[in-house]
Each structure stands twice: as structure tokens, then as C-alpha cells.
Amino acid sequence: MISLRIKHAVGEAIRSLYGIDCPEEKIQIQPTRKEFTGDFTVVVFPLTPLSKKSPEETAAVLGDFLLATLAELSSYQVIKGFLNLQLSQNFWKEYFLEALQSDFSRVAEKNDKTVVLEYSSPNTNKPLHLGHIRNNLLGASLARILEANGYEVRRVNLVNDRGIHICKSMLAWQKWGNGETPASSGEKGDHLVGKYYVMFDRHYKEEVAALAATGMKEEEAAKLAPLMLEAQNMLRAWENGDSEVIALWRTMNSWVYEGFAETYHRLGIVFDKTYYESGTYLSGRDLVLEGLDFGILMKRADGSVWCDLTDEGLDEKLLLRSDGTSVYITQDLGTASLRQREFHPDRLIYVVGNEQNYHFDVLRLILKKLGKDWYRNIHHFSYGMVELPEGKMKSREGTVVDADDLLQEMYDVAVQNTRELGKSDIEAADDAEALFWMLALGALKYFILKVDPKKNMVFNPQESIDFNGNTGPFIQYTHARIQSLLRKASEDALLGRLAEGMKDLQLSDTEVSLIKQCYAYPALLVQAAEELSPALIANYLHQLCKDYNYFYQTTPVLRAETAAIILFRLQLSRLMGHIIREGMKLLGIDVPDKM
């Protein structure tokens, strides 16, 4: 990398000019900010104690030395304490020829590091919703980005298929279902079960209100409402292996799994392994009981088991209820232990919303207390909530936006918008429906992934599918435009020998800028893995497409003055298309060749 060569040359300059070996950490090289001329910047301030001169004088002397010793440099500029270095056109031409042979699908060969990446983690009492979509898209994209950086990634899902919330749906179906099934109702299985979860909550609230009307405190009414007591009895029966409860649980869960599978398929979501809470909570309970035997955990008079985290600045955490039933943290302890034994991962990343920050702090601390050194490998990828313009969603009240409904809406918006824009090529495509789905999914995925994962966001379907904004369809359309240009080129134009003609070409600033953006892509891909941020890839692609479209509109390609220029601009366009395609793959987005 040229940045490393510059760093080495700065060290040589300090040694030659001042007779001092410069500590490596004092030599800071960074990309030049866009508002200044240059490609790389040397931060001079840390070097002035060595030169014993002002930052400006130090920068000027260094600039002269580097210009004389690095053939890749064409000029430099001193801006206060910064030395901005400009690389020559020959450097960018040589890099461009190398880039044409590059794959751009990965920046590192496989290393010996394994990452277990958990995402999705749905409950079997409701369908996937908009919040799950952000989770799934982030997880799937992170997996691709880490793989492109050489990691062995294991994609895992944890299905929350047991607990009081599951029993609520089951109890409601028992009471008011009248034997309804997905087959008899024509309703997707996860939607059917979700309907009964909402139904339970509605009847439960009526019972709480009725008890409160008799003078009972609302908090007590919430605990003593008959429906809640029945649901708790059902959970105990489930944990005790009651055959009828288990049979109903298996039946209703099977409906949900079939529904989930359809949604995952549409979104392009896959897993290497799926864990089920019903199969992991016992491992967690064994771990808790082991900690109890060793005196690490404590049992209260009512039989409940707790972990005291007050010495860590937190509170006491319940691990087993007084009736012996498990809580969420118990299951997560078991699941983490199972994955550690199975994969021995270097990192175990949980893609879970930021409302669970405290939960994962607790998980790590309990594992630490239990003597599990691998607690350090647990990383909570904490992302912000996603809302609609109307505000937050609530599953129990039935105000969530189901993933399937949103996907259909995105498809309908894609059809409507392309017809309003008069894009007849889309309508005439051999498989217009497949293309509409490609645009719909591209709009949805890009709009969600372009946002910094740490931030809350508002999802607007209409805004997401604008062909002219910072959207997936804008990038998809740019790729199709490039492929159309390449199809129009003659075979002779595409097969010319580019290297021979490059030496005498004078590249425009726009052309050099596009080559520079290609050069920046591998480093950006490394940064995206380090920061776990698909947004870096998404916004890079948008800027690349904006700049390419400016080039396309202002620069003749097929009608350029000479065959050498035509060939160069065609190959530059091909390179842009290749990077767009590879970058969008990392976001899980397909790009069309025709639109």
C-alpha cells in the first residue's frame, strides 16, 4: 500500500534530516480531507519536537525530501501543520491496470479466526416484523463483510420457543381457536399464532381492569388475573413434560416455523445452525446449579437462585425462579456454553437491539464469575430501534408492521413508482415481477443498512424507493446503466490492449477521482469489519454511483476522440460496475443488468 511506503519514507526523512530514529507511532498518515488538494496527509505536529522547527517549516522540508525520493508523488502542499501529498497520474494509471485484474470480493485470505454471529432470534408467538428485518439484514450483511475479511463465520439463530409469552398464544388458541389451523383459515402460520397472542393480551387487560374496578391495586390485579395464572400453570406443565401441553406447543410452533421459512427465503436470510431455547435452557440451568454448588451463586429462602453483581456496580440478578423455572439469562448462559464447546469461537457476536445492553453486561459478568475465561469473546452488537413515521410498534397490541406485509408493500411501491416514472424497459423485461422484487428488496435493504447501526431510524417505504436519492434503486439503476453502455460497445472497443495506450493518456480530474475511489474500497471493507458497520459500504456505493453518473453525463465514452480513450473509459465503467456489484452483495442486494 502506498500509505505504508509514505510512512516508511517519512521515517527515512527524519533519520536523514535530523539524525534521529522516529518512533513509528509519531508518523501519522491519513487520507487528505475532501476540501483540500491531495491524496494523503502527513500530520506534522508530532514530528516538531524532533525537527525543533515550526510545523510549517517541518512540513516544507519533509515535502521536498519526499518529492525527491518517492517517484509516485507529483506535488505537495503545506496547510498549517499538515503536509498534503498529491500522487502522480502515472501512479493512478498503474493502479487502474492492476484493479482491472482484481476480484474485489474479499480483502484477505481465510484466517484462523472463527466468529459465531447470532441474529434474528424470533419468538414463536408472533410473525417477524420490521424490527426483525433490521436485525436480520444487519446480521446477514455483517457475516458477508467478516467473510470478505477472511473470517470463518458461523451464522446462528436462537428461536425463543418457550416461556410465558409462548403459553399466552397457546392458551388463547385453546380458549377461542375452535380448532383453527393455517390450512383451514388460509392464514400464514406465524400470523395465525400472532393473532392469538394479541387476543390473549386484549382479554387479559379486560380481566385486570375488572379486578382493579373492585378496588384491587393494578399491580396486584396484573398478577392475579385468571388468564395470567392459567398461562403460568401452562408453563409449569410444559416444564414438567405434560404430554398434552407439549403436543399443542409442537403443533403451534410448527405453524410458526413454516411461516418464518417463507419470510427468510424472501429476504435471502440463511443460517448454519438454529438453536431453540427449549433445547438450551436446561444447559443454562445446569450451569446455574453448578455455580450454586461452588458457592458462586446464592439461593434465597423461597428457593430462587440469584447472582450478586453489586461488586461490579450492578444489582442482584435472578437466574432461577422459586418454582424452578428459568429466565432469559439462564437460557443465554446455556446457549453461550453450547456454542463455546461446539465452535471455540474467537468472537461470539450477538446482533440484538440496544434495549438489551444491560442484559449482555450481565451475561458477561455472570460467565466471568462462573470462571469462563471466554466471556471476553462475547460482543453485543447493539443497534438502534427502527420505527415508522407514525411512531413505535407494540406486538401485544397488534400495532407492529409484519415483515410479510411490509415486503408486499415494498413490491407494490416498486411497481407504482416505476410506472409513474415511465420506465418502460422494466415493464418490457422478460420477468418484470422478478425485477420489481429485486428493486423492492434493494430499496428495503439499502434504506435500513445505510443508517449507522447504532442510531435509531425511521423507515419510510416511499422515500426508500426513490430512483434519484440515496437509495438502493438509484445504485441498481447505475449498475444497469453501466451494463447497457458495455453492451452498446463494439467487440473491438472492448478487446483493445489498454496497457499500451494508457501511458500517453491525460486523465481528467473526474476520471482520476473514480480511480481513487476504487483504491479506497479495500481499506473501507477492512474498516467496515473493524467497526461492524454495513453503513460504510452502503454510503460509499452511493457516492461512487453519484460520481460515476456525473462522469457519464459529462464525458463522452463511445464517442470519445480516440480508440484508446474509448477503451479506457469503457474499462473504467466496467470496473465501476464490478465494485458496485460486489459491494451490493455484501449488503445482500442483487443488481440488475437491464432496467
Sheet holding 40-43, edge to edge: 28-31, 40-43, 82-87, 73-79
pLDDT for the residue numbered 172: 97
Residue 420: pLDDT above 80? no
DSSP 507: -
State the virtual CA torsion across 568, 573, 578, 583 in degrees, nearest 10: 130
Same domain, 151 and 297: yes
Same domain, 175 and 271: yes
| CATH number (domain holding residue 177) | 3.40.50.620
Same domain, 223 and 344: yes
Of 25-29, 267-271, 445-449, 514-518, which range is least confident? Answer: 25-29
| CATH number (domain holding residue 490) | 1.10.730.10
Rounded mean pLDDT, 488-500: 69
Same domain, 460 and 504: yes
Within a domain: 396: no
Q: Which residues, other chains included, contact 373 with Cβ-Cβ below 8 Å and sequence gap of 6+?
A: none
Same domain, 348 and 457: no
Within a domain: 149: yes
pLDDT for the residue numbered 250: 97
Give the integer Cα–Cα distance in Å for 537 and 546.
14
Within a domain: 545: yes
Same domain, 523 and 491: yes
Q: What is the pTM of this model?
A: 0.91
| CATH number (domain holding residue 69) | 3.30.1360.70
Q: Give tens-digit pLDDT for 440-483.
A: 999 999 999 999 999 999 988 888 888 788 999 999 999 999 99
Same domain, 168 and 67: no
pLDDT for the residue numbered 569: 94
Same domain, 134 and 74: no
Point out the domain boundary residue: 352, 387, 422.
Answer: 387
Same domain, 239 and 378: yes
338 and 365 Cβ atoms separated by less than 8 Å: no
pLDDT for the residue numbered 519: 95
Within a domain: 157: yes
Q: Give tens-digit pLDDT for 265-276.
A: 999 999 999 999
Q: Cell digits for 407? A: 415486503
Q: Which one is predicted more confidently, 563 or 16? A: 16
pLDDT for the residue numbered 199: 96
The distance of Cα 270 from the centroid of its chain, to the nearest Å, equals: 14
pLDDT for the residue numbered 595: 81
pLDDT for the residue numbered 214: 94
Residue 424: pLDDT above 60? no
Of 45-49, 394-398, 466-470, 544-548, which range is least confident? Answer: 394-398
Rounded mean pLDDT, 548-566: 93
204 and 225 Cβ atoms separated by less than 8 Å: yes
Point out the domain boundary residue: 338, 354, 387.
Answer: 387
Point out the domain boundary residue: 67, 87, 107.
Answer: 87
Q: Cell digits for 22? A: 522516529
590 and 438 Cβ atoms separated by less than 8 Å: yes
Which residue bears the cell 390450512? 183
In one-letter notation, the amino acid at residue 178 is N
Q: Cell digits for 157? A: 439463530
Residue 238: pLDDT above 80? yes
pLDDT for the residue numbered 239: 85
Q: Which residues, other chains included, contact 185 with Cβ-Cβ below 8 Å and sequence gap of 6+?
A: 192
Give the integer Cα–Cα distance in Å for 388 and 562.
53
Burial of 422 (0-12, 13-18, 19+ CB in 10 A): exposed
Express as a percent the part of the chain with pLDDT over 90. Answer: 78
Domain tally, the chain: 3
Rounded mean pLDDT, 412-431: 71
- Minimal CA–CA distance to 99: which of 520, 567, 541, 480? 520
- Beta-bridge partner residues of 383: 353
47 and 22 Cβ atoms separated by less than 8 Å: yes
Within a domain: 67: yes
Within a domain: 112: no
pLDDT for the residue numbered 346: 97
115 and 151 Cβ atoms separated by less than 8 Å: yes
Express as a percent the part of the chain with pLDDT over 70. Answer: 95
Same domain, 296 and 436: no
Within a domain: 114: no
Name the band, by pLDDT with cuts 50, 70 and 90, for residue 125.
very high
Q: Give tens-digit pLDDT for 128-152.
A: 999 999 999 999 999 999 999 999 9
How long is the chain?
Answer: 595
Residue 80: pLDDT above 90? no
Q: 50 lies in which domain range? A: 2-87
Within a domain: 163: yes
Same domain, 360 and 457: no
Q: Give tens-digit pLDDT for 367-404.
A: 999 999 999 999 999 999 988 776 544 444 445 688 99
pLDDT for the residue numbered 295: 93
Q: Give tens-digit pLDDT for 161-206.
A: 988 999 999 999 999 999 999 999 999 999 999 999 999 999 999 9
Residue 428: pLDDT above 70? no
Q: Which one is predicted more confidently, 575 or 425? A: 575
pLDDT for the residue numbered 444: 95
Same domain, 409 and 505: yes
Mean pLDDT rounded to a whole number for the chain: 92
